[in-house]
Amino acid sequence: MNINKNELLERFLRYVKIDTRSDESSTTFPSTGKQWTLAHLLCDELKAIGMEDVSIDDHAYVMATLPSNIDRKVPVLGFIAHVDTSPEMPGDNVKPQIVEDYSGEDIVLNAEKKILLSPSDFPELKNYIGHTLITTDGTTLLGADDKAGVAEIITAMDYLCKHPEIPHGTIKVAYTPDEEIGKGVDHFDVQKFGAQFAYTLDGGAIGELEFENFNAAGAKVFVQGRNIHPGYAKGKMINAMLLAMEFNNMLPEFEKPQYTQDYEGFYHLVKMEGGVENCNLQYIIRDHDKNIFENRKVFIQHVVGYLNQKYGEGTFTLELKDQYFNMRQQVEPAMHIIETARKAMEMAGIEPHIKPIRGGTDGARLSYMGLPCPNLFSGGHNFHGKHEYIPLESMLKAVEVILNIVKLYSEQEY
């Protein structure tokens, strides 16, 4: 396949320069108005390459169709990516750097701040010697999560539009907002989308293929203290920050993200704010195993109960909310989706790495909404931070895998 790598790179660079951070504290959908900018741009580009039924709805979901060009009945495929980027790191004024023919040595992201992208910290960099790497400038995230997926899907569709001789069934494309804050498919219309199954292009390193993800919940712990002048505080002051620290210390030390891998779950403190009078903690709770996941939620409730017994009812208040569930049981009845993706990677000379997602994806919730939707690699590394990077060659392979999946399903009888 002669995929135009310059067009792919230009698209990606164009998208990452648009600030699309989502905001979990917002009450609107999408959570930030700036996501509309990229959504409208994608609408225009989908129309320009020849896609049909291009639409953008009141919630900034972009959908488009490439009609079948064969006279046999084959499955209607979908490909999905999200336009927002993580609010955990600045996403405005993104200045991508391009490192051609990577040497395997340290990359200076920002000389002034002495920020390096080094194989001593990130050994997988050695896998990309000779490749073209796209990095940050050390002050923002890059946005490959998931603007790489966005660019790869539209590049694959552009290739098919430019090569009408390639047989394919009906293909559906969707771009979603607010995935990074767990709301990406809150208003997604599965029936309107019209695919029988789909793939999200929202994974990491080349070769990743994922159909298992965390069960996920969010917990907010509110601690009520009592602020008294410290000179007269004896027997009266209740320091909410110290109580919050006590709560956190009661969680299992080695069940935190920095100590876990593979199928191991965790409690993760993502935010802490407040003072003596009030202090708030925000956690995410994750586990692949549903029973262990439920036990984690029960445990955190027990800790709150214990501390309220110790310090008085109402000192600790807990808000606990499920966010999404493991998609595996929804995908298993249609395992041909996984086998086809595996074969598509092998056709592209890629060794598939089937592994659990240590995170979430729109595909998890979509699978429970009746649209089985495993996750494919988009090629990036170190998402959500200033050390984020992506090899251009991995992006090209992602496009090739999309096209191979299309080819494989176009050859099957249904």
Catalytic residue among 19, 84, 208, 287: 84
Q: Is 287 noted as a catalytic residue in this protein?
A: no
pLDDT at 414: 63
Q: What is the span of the domain harbouring residue 106?
A: 5-212+326-410
pLDDT at 357: 85
Q: Are residues 167 and 222 in the same domain?
A: no
pLDDT at 412: 82
Q: Are residues 282 and 228 in the same domain?
A: yes
pLDDT at 148: 98
Report the relative pairing of strands 266-274 and 215-224 from DSSP bridges.
Answer: unpaired
Other Cβ atoms less than 10 A from the Cβ of 88: the count is: 14
Q: Are residues 286 and 299 in the same domain?
A: yes
Other Cβ atoms less than 10 A from the Cβ of 255: the count is: 18
Q: Are residues 330 and 345 in the same domain?
A: yes
Q: Are residues 10 and 137 in the same domain?
A: yes
Q: Are residues 177 and 29 in the same domain?
A: yes
Other Cβ atoms less than 10 A from the Cβ of 406: the count is: 24
Q: Are residues 271 and 224 in the same domain?
A: yes
The three-state (H, E, C) secondary structure of the chain, written as one string: CCCCHHHHHHHHHHHHCCCCECCCCCCCCCCCCCHHHHHHHHHHHHHHHCCEEEEECCCCCEEEEECCCCCCCCCCEEEEEECCECCCCCCCCCCCEEECCCCCCCEEEECCCCEEECCCCCHHHHHHCCCCEEECCCCCCCCHHHHHHHHHHHHHHHHHHHCCCCCCCCEEEEEECCHHHCCCCCCCCHHHHCCCEEEEEEECCCCEEECCECEEEEEEEEEECECCCHHHCCCCCECHHHHHHHHHHCCCCCCCHHHCCCCCCEEEEEEEEECCCEEEEEEEEEECCHHHHHHHHHHHHHHHHHHHHHHCCCCEEEEEEEEECCCHHHHHHHCHHHHHHHHHHHHCCCCCEECCECCCCHHHHHHHCCCCCCEEECCCECCCCCCCEEEHHHHHHHHHHHHHHHHHHHCCCC
Of 323, 345, 378, which residue is a domain's last?
A: 323
The domain that holds 289 is classified in CATH as 3.30.70.360
pLDDT at 39: 98
Q: Are residues 157 and 221 in the same domain?
A: no
For the chain, residues with pLDDT lower than 70 are 413-414
One-letter identity of residue 243: L
Question: Token pair for residue 252?
Answer: 């299992």
pLDDT at 167: 97
Q: Are residues 111 and 221 in the same domain?
A: no
Q: For 68-120, what is each residue's pLDDT tens digit?
A: 999 999 999 999 999 999 999 999 999 999 999 999 999 999 999 999 999 99
One-letter identity of residue 165: E
Of 305, 323, 341, which residue is a domain's last?
A: 323
Q: Are residues 253 and 184 in the same domain?
A: no
pLDDT at 278: 98
Q: Are residues 57 and 150 in the same domain?
A: yes
Q: Is 180 noted as a catalytic residue in this protein?
A: no
pLDDT at 360: 74
> Distance of CA 242 to CAs 286, 315, 337, Å?
25, 12, 50
Of 276, 300, 323, which residue is a domain's last?
A: 323
Question: Token pair for residue 17?
Answer: 């320069």
Q: Are residues 315 and 335 in the same domain?
A: no
Q: For 324-345, what is each residue's pLDDT tens digit?
A: 899 998 999 999 999 999 999 9
Question: Token pair for residue 351?
Answer: 């060794």
Contacts of 110 (CB under 8 A, 6+ apart): 137, 138, 139
Catalytic residue among 145, 146, 158, 179: 179
Into how many domains does the chain fold?
A: 2
